[in-house]
Amino acid sequence: MEKTVKIGIIGCGGIANGKHLPSLSNVDGVELVAFCDLIEERARAAAEKYGIPGAAVFTDYRELLKIADIDVVHVLTPNREHADITIDALEAGKDVMCEKPMAKTAADAARMCEAARRTGRKLTIGYQHRHKPEAICAKQAIDDGELGDIYYAKCYAVRRRATPNWGVFLNKEEQGGGPVIDIATHSLDLTLYLMNNWEPQMVVGKTHKMLENPEEANSWGPDGVKETELEESACAFILMKNGATVLVETSWALNTTDTIEEGSCVLCGSKGGLSIINNKLSFNTVKYGRTFDTGVCTRFGGVAFYAGKTTTPQLTEAERWIDAVRNDKAPVVLPEQALVVSQILEAIYVSSATGKPVYFD
């Protein structure tokens, strides 16, 4: 019989209730035993809906970490708190899943990596786009050599008028930035993961806050959108040490009709290419003396009265994470990889502020 994995949840807001708690509750052999939130009512509500009978409720995460038989902690707080809570949890002997981005700053992300190495505990970051079927299929093809050497990539997370204005999304002190750190982080992580390239050499980036009426037609209403100091959009050029190049395009609000969901990318290799755009995977190559494009079905279904096996990236992420904990395997998202993503995101902001490229050692 597989060991039961006991989990404590720190942060019971939107990302907890929208992603982690529903997914974990559908993983066999998992018990949600403790919940913490600064707002006690939120922690209590989560415990009543998802926790075991008698699940503990706290407003101070340090009290949760004192529970000896908790195996895993999920850190689901605003970005500013990621590093300190994660490090305290690692030092308390817990394995940690921290929601994306890894941290508000690259220095904090580096501290998290150091703590994981020092304590010998597992640390992973919630980049669920690696776990969608399109990404899993693409990764298998790339590992089999279908694309050859990947030397050029583009990644997108482009919204037209969809600035999140609830919680702390528009609070620079809590979050650290706008769409660059919020949604481009997903697309950049997936792109580098598929390329298997984690060595940047130089970044040039530019953020924009130019719209005269960013609040108008915003998907979640106008409140706070005009007042925030965070960027509305950004673009960047990344040169990797092996000569590969990556373009980044992202926005919460932009006067464009070319909207592209986060977790979208295009990869160009010496033998072929692929794209994952709005969760649709296609390959391109040359066959029979012609350019040849192949759309790939990565979802089950299509039989009358039977949808087939269904899952979600969030559930697959949770299952793979618990499997890594239970069987002492490396998680799919390694902290050292997430650190590189944070370093590049920060470099985009620094380059935009200084008007200069940012070089990596």
Helix locations, 120-208, DSSP H: 133-143, 172-175, 179, 185-195
CATH number of the domain at 95, please: 3.40.50.720
- Same domain for 156 and 302? yes
Residue 297's pLDDT is 84
Give the integer Cα–Cα distance in Å for 191 and 314.
Answer: 18
CATH number of the domain at 200, please: 3.30.360.10
DSSP 129: G
Range of the domain at 160: 130-314+341-359
Q: Per-residue pLDDT tens for 341-361?
A: 999 999 999 999 999 999 998
Helical pair 335-354 and 185-195, crossing angle rounded to 10 deg: 120
Interstrand relation of 5-10 and 72-75 (parallel, antiparallel or unpaired): parallel
CB atoms within 10 A of CB 290: 7
Q: Is residue 231 part of a domain?
A: yes
Q: Per-residue pLDDT tens for 13-49?
A: 999 999 999 999 999 999 999 999 999 999 999 999 9
Helix locations, 4-150, DSSP H: 14-15, 21-24, 40-50, 61-65, 82-91, 106-119, 133-143
Q: Per-residue pLDDT tens for 304-344?
A: 656 666 789 999 999 999 999 999 999 999 999 999 999 99
- Same domain for 148 and 188? yes
Give the integer Cα–Cα distance in Å for 324 and 284.
Answer: 34
Q: Per-residue pLDDT tens for 42-88?
A: 999 999 999 999 999 999 999 999 999 999 999 999 999 999 999 99
- Same domain for 76 and 164? no
Q: Is residue 146 part of a domain?
A: yes
